[in-house]
Amino acid sequence: MEKELNLKKNIGFFVSTSLVIGTVIGSGIFMKPGIVLSSTANSTMALLAWIIGGVITLASGLTIAEVSVKIPRTGGLYAYIEEVYGEKWGFLCGWVQTLVYGPAVMGALSLYFGSLLADFFGFQGSSKVIGIITIILLGGLNILGTQLGGLIQTISTAGKLVPIILIAVFGILQGDVSVFNADSGSSTQALSMGAAVLATLWAYDGWMNVGFMAGEMKNPSKTLPRAIISGIVIVILAYLSVNIAMLHVLSASKIVELGPNAATAAASSLFGSIGGKILAIGILISIFGCLNGKILTFPRVTFAMAERNFLPGSKVLSSIHPKFNTPVGSTVFQIVLALAMMIFWNPDRLSDMAIFAVFLFYGLAFNAIFILRKKDKGGNKLYKVPLYPITPIVAILGTLYIICSTIINAPMDALVSIGIAIVGLPVYWRLKSTIRSDEKYKAS
């Protein structure tokens, strides 16, 4: 299925920046304001959490940009970890992405979509059923062909920006509620800045895809860092603007009370019932498109590992649809795992679990820049992370902050992710032993 491509260097600054914005903006800005507010003492601290999450994301993106230029391999995080730390660590990264990160992200997005769609049509109590139907539907469409999935992605990317711009502009101009130092109504026992920042990182997630396009950029040494800085800064400003606008229209306590429906309520307050419903449709399109993008891309990690016989049941997981030429085995497997998670966990827990799981390996990827710099005696002239070593250190410290905060605030969710990673070790040793035995048999 995988083919070597002669990539044309035809991607410029504006296209690169739009890719950054398109891959980052999804459901988080609409789903997480209430969670961030409930985790902080007041609205000012909540806005600070969004800024901290943005700074961590910017430092992370700039660091990974250099790693991706130094390691021009497909596979993203999995490939970076394997190249720098060896096959075992690469396997564990792909193992956790396959069993935790990918399914948890897809499950959370499906449940968020189901919740909003149920509220939109007044189908009380049916949000989980809608979420389940949605992920099965999109999984099937992506199996029918990547072109169809790509078409859905193109349409939804345009739709996601409309509600953000309208809510931000009109909310700031027309709102009359005090924005700063507004009490969120949370109990002192529930307060946690770490949980708040973790929630914002769900909204910023997706930046890892930014560096994958370096090989197709006209001038990656200039285009890549400019696109990352511009794109993430635009996203940070967009997120802050939407949060300020919502706080200007609804009280902080009301946003916490409404939860995922706060953005729709703010839109209805600004534009009336009909206008609110139109913007609610835009929000639904945004989440639908984000979910489609994840279903389109996440199974590729599973497929890549299975092709190398690096997963139990690799023959099934690496199977390709005979007619549509899509990774049917890995896609179905990821969907089934996501469905199981949707039954046992709510979307907020799934999103937190996903971010924690992937940050376990993000930290290794950020640290890789120091190892690669030592190996690169000739010096890389394509791209170097600005303000080295401060930028990667900020990314690493942010990672440690998130990991420690999750262990303290949600120990069971952290243990599930860590436990699955540890279980991967005997699986890896067993698979390696099987591969060696097969090689010896073939040699004889």
Tell me the two tokens of residue 36.
């961030």
Euclidean distance between CA atoms 28 and 260, whole angstroms: 9
Inter-residue contact 277 to 122 (CB < 8 Å): no
Inter-residue contact 15 to 204 (CB < 8 Å): no
Inter-residue contact 209 to 23 (CB < 8 Å): yes
Euclidean distance between CA atoms 39 and 279, whole angstroms: 27
Q: What are phi and psi of 32, to 5 degrees?
A: -100, -15
Contacts of 282 (CB under 8 A, 6+ apart): 159, 160, 162, 163
Euclidean distance between CA atoms 261 and 30, whole angstroms: 8
Classify residue 71 as left (phi > 0), alpha (psi -120 to 50) or beta. beta
Model confidence, pTM: 0.85
Angle at 235 between CA 232 and CA 239, to 5 degrees: 140
Inter-residue contact 292 to 29 (CB < 8 Å): no
Which of 235, 221, 198 shows the shortest CA–CA distance to 19? 235
Tell me the two tokens of residue 128.
């989980």
Distance of CA 315 to the CA centre of its chain: 28
Q: Position 421: which residue type?
A: A
Report the pLDDT value the prediction gives residue 5, as an integer from 0 to 100. 39
Q: What share of the chain is helix, strand, coil (3-state, %, to 5)?
A: 80, 0, 20
Q: How does pLDDT run along the chain (444 residues), one tens digit per residue?
A: 444 434 456 667 777 777 677 778 877 888 899 999 988 888 999 999 999 999 999 999 889 888 887 887 766 788 889 999 999 999 999 999 999 999 999 999 999 999 989 988 888 788 999 999 999 999 988 788 655 555 555 566 666 777 888 888 999 988 888 888 788 776 655 568 888 999 999 999 877 765 555 555 677 667 777 788 888 888 899 899 999 999 999 999 899 988 888 888 898 988 888 888 888 888 888 888 888 878 877 888 888 888 888 888 888 998 888 887 788 899 999 999 999 999 999 998 999 999 999 999 999 999 999 999 888 765 566 678 889 999 999 999 999 999 998 898 889 989 999 999 999 999 999 988 876 666 655 555
Inter-residue contact 283 to 116 (CB < 8 Å): yes
Inter-residue contact 166 to 267 (CB < 8 Å): yes
Report the pLDDT value the prediction gives residue 438, as an integer from 0 to 100. 61
In 3-state terms, what secondary structure has residue 322? coil
Report the pLDDT value the prediction gives residue 355, as an integer from 0 to 100. 92
Contacts of 147 (CB under 8 A, 6+ apart): none
In 3-state terms, what secondary structure has residue 381? coil
